[in-house]
Structure formats: structure tokens, C-alpha cells
Amino acid sequence: MIKEYKEEGHLIYNGDAIEILTCKIADKSIDLMFVDPPYNIGKNFNGREDKWETDEAYLEWCYQWIDLCLTKLKDNGSFYVMTSTQFIPYFDIYLRGKINILARIVWSYDSSGVQAKIFFGSMYEPILFCAKNSKNYTFNSDNILVEAKTGAKRKLIDYRKNPPQPYNTMKVPGNVWCFPRVRYRMAEYEKHPTQKPIALLERIIKASSNEGDIVLDPFSGTFTTSYVAKKLNRKSIGIELDEDYTKIGIRRVLGKFELNGEDLRPEPKSYEIRNIDQQILIFEQTNETRIY
């Protein structure tokens, strides 16, 4: 059963992504898609194990939603897709005959402190950036500029030019992106094993869409894609199978803190509870000292 929640410009579906893409999303209606599916590496998504019986079964499932996503994308639309390092080569080869792969991005992040001891541990996740039409797609380079260290910090001069000129202080990012993973103490943290950071989605949405465009995420998780789309004045469609994760989207995107009598506010974090307990203790001790 598909459940639907919406407000002006923003739509949330609770249900199976393939079914919803097939039945609810019009062909050639989406400007930008960001797809972060289960990786088939055994993560626990609220009781659902992210593991198929075989690699072939996982890839067969992935190819189904990939084909649907490309059908729903506008002719000038952009498509970003992630998966594990083990499976991204299969995605890459499968997509080559269907869409133009413009960049192979590495999202690099810091270690959690626990890393492999008998091989080289994974410190990145791959992203494919694709466009249906390599000569007609949105790319707002001025909106995503980053510091160019050659010009901004080293203050070097390009003597090949006449007259010599300083190097630019800003540049378009390369294909290695360094954003920290979402940690428990971060304000944006939600209870989800593979939450993507706001900064990552801000770069993608700023670069590959314009205000008023429709951004779709078929595996929304904590609905960061929709949250950032709304923040940047885009329209959004988020699809999520899990009901509890869908409630995160209802809160983060639609701004509702109650659903059918259920409180949707996140549980206070352990350090917040300790801080509250400490404040209560200090308050009680202060009041005791005032009693003579």
C-alpha cells in the first residue's frame, strides 16, 4: 500500500520505489535525481537487512529502478547515483549505453576510528554524475565555487600570461569531494545507518538544478535530498519504503511534528539528557543553598 503526504511543492511517498516510480511519477518530469540505494553490504535498515541472496539478484533489482529513473528524467535532466565500491563498476558499464557519464566522483571522508588491519580500509564512496544530453544540461558552476589554494593561499603568479596575472582564488570543485560523514553529535543527525550530509546534497542540487526544478530521491532515508531541495527553493519528491524513516521526512520536509497523534520529534540525544540532568542538579543545589 502506497501512502502519500504532501504540501505545496513537496511530495513524500511511503512504499516500494519501483512500484511508485512506475505508477506515480510521470515520464520525463524530473529535472534532477539523486539516488542512494541500499548497497548490498549487510547494513541493518530498521530491521531490514541490506543483503540480497546473490550479487546477480542485487544487480537485477538495481537495473530495474535505474531504467525507470532514466525514463522519468527530462531530456535535459541530470542523474547522480551511488552504490558501494564493489558494485559501482557494474553501474558504470550498464549506464554507458543509456546516458552520458560526465564525472566519476569520489566522496572522501574521515575514519570512524575503527579501520581494517589486514587490508586497506574503505574511506570513500563513489558517485556517478550523468546527463541525458551532454550538450544540454544544468550546471551552475558559479554556485559551487571553492577556494583555489594556488591563488588564494600560495599567491602564485601565472607568468605564462602577458602581462603576468595572479592565479584565480576560486575554482569549480574537482571530482574528489571531502565532506565529513554525519556524526551522532551533529545537529543534522538522524537515526539511520547511511545518512548523507547536507553539504554533499547542497553541492549537487546547487550545481545541477535551478529554483523551481523538481528533485527526486527514490531511496530517501532521512530525506536530506528533499530537505536541501526545499531549503534551496526547489520542489521535491521523496520515496521511502520504511515507515519510521518516512516520518523523519514528514518532520524534516513538511515541517509536521505530529502524525495521527504520534509525536514525530526526535528523541533527545544521550549527551543532551546528561546536560539536562546536570542543569537540574545545579538548579536544585542552588535553591538548597538559599534555604536558611
267/61: higher pLDDT: 61
Question: Average pLDDT over the chain, rounded to whole?
Answer: 91
Q: Tell me what the mean pLDDT of segment 148-173 comes to.
A: 79
Q: Tell me what the mean pLDDT of segment 89-109 comes to.
A: 97
Check whether 276 has a pLDDT greater than 70.
no
Q: Give span(s): CATH 3.40.50.150, the chain.
A: 3-138+175-263
Q: Tell me what the mean pLDDT of segment 154-158 comes to.
A: 74
| Position 268 confidence tier, pLDDT thresholds 50, 70, 90 | confident
Please give the pLDDT value at position 292. 44
Check whether 197 has a pLDDT greater than 50.
yes
Q: Tell me what the mean pLDDT of segment 7-14 comes to.
A: 96
Q: DSSP for the chain, please give it.
A: --EEEEETTEEEEES-HHHHHHHTS-TT-EEEEEE----SS--EETTEE---SSHHHHHHHHHHHHHHHHHHEEEEEEEEEE--TTTHHHHHHHHHTTSEEEEEEEEE----S---SSS----EEEEEEEES-TTS----GGGS-EE-HHHHTS--EETTSSS-EEPPSEE---SEEE-PPP-TTSTT--S-TTPPPHHHHHHHHHHH--TT-EEEESS-TTTHHHHHHHHTT-EEEEEES-HHHHHHHHHHTT---EETTEE-SPPPPHHHHHHHHHHHHHHHHHHHHT--
Check whether 128 has a pLDDT greater than 50.
yes
CATH classification for the domain delimited by 3-138+175-263, as one of 3.30.70.270, 3.40.50.10470, 3.40.50.150, 3.30.830.10: 3.40.50.150
Q: Tell me what the mean pLDDT of segment 145-168 comes to.
A: 79
Ranges 17-21, 48-52, 154-158, most confident: 17-21
pTM, two decimals, is 0.89
| Position 59 confidence tier, pLDDT thresholds 50, 70, 90 | very high
Please give the pLDDT value at position 283. 46
